[in-house]
Every structure is written in C-alpha cells, then in structure tokens.
Homo-oligomer: A and B are copies of this chain.
Amino acid sequence: MELRAYMEDRAAKVDAALEAWLPEAERPPAALHAAMRHLVFPGGKRLRPILACAGAEALGAPSDRAMPMAIAVELVHIYSLVHDDLPCMDDDDERRGRPTVHVVYGEATAVLAGDGLLASAFECLTRAPGYEAEQLLGAVGDLSHAAGSLQLVGGQVDDLSIGERLPGADEVEGIHLRKTAALMTAAVVGGARLGGGGHDDLERLREFGLRLGVAFQIADDLLDRDDDEPCSSVRVLGEDGARARAAELIAEAEARLAPYGAAAEPLRALARFSIGRDR
C-alpha cells in the first residue's frame, strides 16, 4: 500500500473533524480558544488519530467510524504537549518551528488551554451520534486510563524525576510504555472499538499498540540523539541495541495482526513507518 497517500488522506479527514469540533478561535474567551487551537493547527503527522482510523479499518469498518476517537486522542496528545512545554516542566519555547503556547498566550492561559483540551477530548466522545453508548463509554475508559496517573501523567512524572542519574533499560522502557505507548494503544484500541471490535480484537490490538508505541519512542530517541535527554533508549541500549529492540518489538506487534489479513495492511505499514520514519 501507498502509506504516504493513506496518511495524507486520513490526516486531512482528521483536520476537518478537529476543525468542526473545536470552538472557533474567536469564540469567547477568545484568548483561551485561540490558545487551545495554537498547537492543533497546523498539526503534526496526526499519527495517533491515523492509528485510530487504521484500528477501525482492521475490523473492516470505514475510517470515518473511528473519527470521534481520532479527535479525542489527538486532543489528549496536544494537551500533554502544551503542559510538557511549560516553564515548570520541560521549559520549551519552540515546537515544530513555532513558539509554544505559553510563550504566545502566557503561562496561566497555557495551563488552562491544556485543561480545556483534555476536557474537550472526553466531551467529543459523548457527543458522537450513531454509536452504542457501550462503545463510546469504553472509548472514554481507554482514553482516561491512558491519560491518567498510572500511564501518561505518571510516565511524565517519572521522566522528570530521573534528573541527572543514568536509568536502567527496564526503567526507560517502562517510562516509554506509559508516556508514549499508552496513548497510541488507546488510539488503536479505541478506533477498533468504534469499528465494532470485540473483546479478543481489543486485546490483540492492545498488545500491538504497546509494542508499536515503545518502538516509536526508541526510533524517536535514535533520531534525537540528544545527549542531554536522560530517558533515552540509545543512552541505555546503545545505538545498535536500540535499533535491534525496536525491530524486535515491531515483529512482535505485526504477529498480532495475523487474524486480520489485508484489512490490517494500514496498521502493518504504520508499524514499519514508526521505526523507519524520518523527521
């Protein structure tokens, strides 16, 4: 399959859905809504929402079926970036070549914009028409757990707590599981759930997503090669070790897709992309 065309098509649909869902930048309080949109438009590759689409497609559903989860997971991702960039956290002034939210709108509004994005993620799942309440509630459960203190937020705390110390390889992978893989997993699983997946499907795709997420983060560490980054797979495994671990995880991930045949081709291509991508 032509992955680039696939990703562009799905990203365009995600952009349109996000545009339709989020309050306009002019809607009062305008500073808040503009700040919420600042990092959403223009977006990045929309990898997490595309994973949600591909999750639904693996179950034989059209990608649009995953759209409420696609939007929700992107909003959670963006909220986490807005808060991670804050002066009291990573203190980043720039992201994707643009000033970060707190630089443009101030720190208080950046905290509140992140909060607003997080609430908005859950609300959008409750407003989607044409689904069983059970499906949407399950998606809220997937996403709130992934965003919470045992996953995304907890991983960020542990990442910040490493400080100058050299962590072990297990510790680094544990942080990557929670900080990166949990949300990607929620995307695939939630998309599959809205696409009609049953219990066994969701379990398989959970195993797929966790491995893809960790491999993605290892690839990110290989690209970054930032010696200042304490929680880096390259730092604890070496370059060859990191590359081998990522390849192993992706092979394991792909094995979980066997029951889905050609319908899982987008997930397979995304798994390979997650370790072969460039900036």
Number of interface residues of A (CB under 8 A): 52
Counting CB contacts under 8 A, is A33 at the interface?
yes
Residue among B23, B28, B114, B150 making CB contact with A23, cutoff 8 Å? B150
Identical copies in the complex:
2
A residues 83-110 touching B (CB-CB < 8 Å) = 83, 86, 88-89, 106-109
Closest to A145 in B: B123
A residues 207-242 touching B (CB-CB < 8 Å) = none
Would you call B157 and A109 a contact (CB within 8 A)? Answer: yes
Would you call A116 and B154 a contact (CB within 8 A)? Answer: yes
**A74 CB → nearest B CB, Å:** 16
- Name the B residues within 8 Å of A113 (CB-CB): 149
A79 to B148, CA, bound (A): 13
A residues 133-182 touching B (CB-CB < 8 Å) = 133-134, 136-138, 140-141, 144-145, 147-150, 152-154, 156-158, 160-161
Would you call A138 and B126 a contact (CB within 8 A)? Answer: yes
Would you call A29 and B158 a contact (CB within 8 A)? Answer: yes
**A48 CB → nearest B CB, Å:** 16
A108 to B157, CA, bound (A): 8
Q: Could you show 20 A-B contacts with beta carbons less than 8 Å apart?
A: A28-B158, A29-B149, A32-B154, A32-B157, A33-B149, A36-B149, A79-B115, A88-B106, A88-B111, A89-B111, A109-B157, A113-B149, A114-B115, A119-B147, A119-B149, A119-B152, A120-B148, A122-B144, A132-B133, A133-B137
In order of increasing CB-CB distance, the 10 nearest A-B pairs are: A126-B141, A116-B149, A123-B144, A88-B107, A133-B133, A119-B148, A122-B144, A133-B134, A119-B147, A29-B157
